[in-house]
Amino acid sequence: MTLTKFTSAIAGGVALGAILAGSAFADPALIYDGGGKFDKSFNESAYNGAEMYKKETGNSYSDLEITGDAQREQAIRQFATKGFSPIIIPGFSWATALTTVAPDFPDTHFVIIDSVVDLPNVRSVVFKEQEGSYLVGILAAMKSESGKIGVVPAFNFDLLEAFACGYKEGAKSVNPDIDVLETYVGAGFEAFNDPGKATEVTKSQLDQGVDVVFQVAGGAGAGVLQAASDAGKYGIGVDSNQNYLHPGHVLTSMVKRVDVAAYNAMMDELNGTWSAGTVVLGLAEEGVGAAFDDNNADLITPEMKAAVDDATAKIISGDIVVHDYREDKACPV
């Protein structure tokens, strides 16, 4: 490459940067958490919400994947500087960075999912994961023939324990004697990206007689479902509806409507109805639930469906209160 081409390339870059900095898009932006855009789970769910918005309105949005913690603040700041709003950041790991950056951009709207950041320009969306997990727990216990079911969280972590605890409660409500095995994929966040390890862990559970496994491991969960399917047993998906991944072998999915949260934030901004504050999405708000579709229709008996409907009604009415692990860091069952 000659020097002149190099210089022009630099000039081009500078010019491009200037154009981007100079123009004021009011487009929304989405920054994915560590697991990455196409994790078939949490992040992908947010992406699906944004795509839904794009399809319905014809408006565009920007998104970005990060490669390290140091980039969190940088990425938020880049989008805010260039006028994007709302900026949607799914994942509790964003809390600290958002707390730092949001006050610098009082006119920009931010949406954080899975964590609460109490600032006037931030909407915090949290879910009652335990409620949805309770429902899939019921299904797992009813499906199990061995009396042993499993749950595979990415690692020992409060949010994931909330899933696991709700699942156990739901299962025990059907069969108090049921054995629920809990095995972690790894020890830290990188476990979310380790489907190979997740497969191994799941195989070990299956070897011990487990015949339904609930994955709470984001991107790594694909490995859990794969292992269950390969063994002719059942997996349960998480976050997104994953029933389609191995039709006939994914019993159901504990959907967490991150897509709805993202979509709503974008639509609210467009309609001028954006609001700050904390939004809690549970069964009543249809923010969580068990997924039923063509892919798992053959696996769900009418009794199972009825049990889920019954529990749903009782949770919404308050007759059943599902314990939230995060409140006391303990699970009653």
Partner 1 sequence: MSTRVPLPRWVDVALLPVLNVMLAFLIGGIVVMLVGQNPLDAVGIMIYGAFGYGSGFGYTLYYTTDFIFAGLAVSVAYQAGLFNIGPEGQAYVAGLGVILVALALNGLPWLITVPAMIVAGGLFGAAWAFIPGYLQAKRGSHIVITTILFNFIAVSMMGYIISKHLKPVGVNSDESAPIDAVSRVPQLNVFWDLFKHSPVNISFILALLALVGVYWLVWRTKFGFAMRVLGQNPTAARYAGISNSRMIMITMALAGALAGMVAVNNVGGVQGRLILNFVSGAGFVGVAVAFMGKGHPFGVALSALLFGALYQGGQELAFSMPGITREMIVTIQALVILFTGAMGDMLRPPLERVFFKPPNPSSAEGG
Distance CA 158, CA 327 (A): 9
SS3 143: helix
Q: If we measure between CA atoms, which residue out of 313, 328, 333, 316 comes closest to residue 169?
A: 333
Tell me how far, at minimum, the Cβ of 17 lies from partner 1, in Å: 5
Check binding of 280 to partner 1 (CB under 8 A): no
Check binding of 17 to partner 1 (CB under 8 A): yes
Binding residue for partner 1 (CB under 8 A) from 25, 51, 77, 172? 77
What are 35's two structure tokens? 């697991």
Tokens 């892919």 correspond to: 295
Nearest to partner 1 of 124, 173 (CB atom): 124
Check binding of 176 to partner 1 (CB under 8 A): no
- What does the DSSP 8-state code read for residue 135? H
Binding residue for partner 1 (CB under 8 A) from 157, 167, 234, 325? 157
Distance CA 90, CA 255 (A): 15
SS3 148: strand
Check binding of 23 to partner 1 (CB under 8 A): no
Check binding of 51 to partner 1 (CB under 8 A): no
Check binding of 43 to partner 1 (CB under 8 A): no
Check binding of 230 to partner 1 (CB under 8 A): no
Query: How far is C-alpha 85 from the geometric centre of its chain's CA atoms?
Result: 22
Binding residue for partner 1 (CB under 8 A) from 155, 234, 292, 325? 155
Burial (CB < 10 A; 0-12, 13-18, 19+), residue 97, is buried
Check binding of 69 to partner 1 (CB under 8 A): yes
Tell me how far, at minimum, the Cβ of 78 lies from partner 1, in Å: 6
Check binding of 20 to partner 1 (CB under 8 A): yes
- DSSP collapsed to 3 states, 219-279: HHHHHHHHHHHHCCCEEEEEECCCCCCCCCCEEEEEEECHHHHHHHHHHHHHHCCCCCEEE
Nearest to partner 1 of 17, 277 (CB atom): 17
Binding residue for partner 1 (CB under 8 A) from 22, 55, 58, 68? 68
Total site size for partner 1, rule CB under 8 A: 45
Nearest to partner 1 of 92, 234 (CB atom): 92
Phi, psi (degrees; rounded to nearest 5) at 159: -60, -45
- Contact residues toward partner 1 (CB under 8 A) are 1, 5, 8-14, 16-17, 20, 36-37, 62-71, 73-75, 77-78, 92-93, 95-96, 114-115, 155-159, 186-190
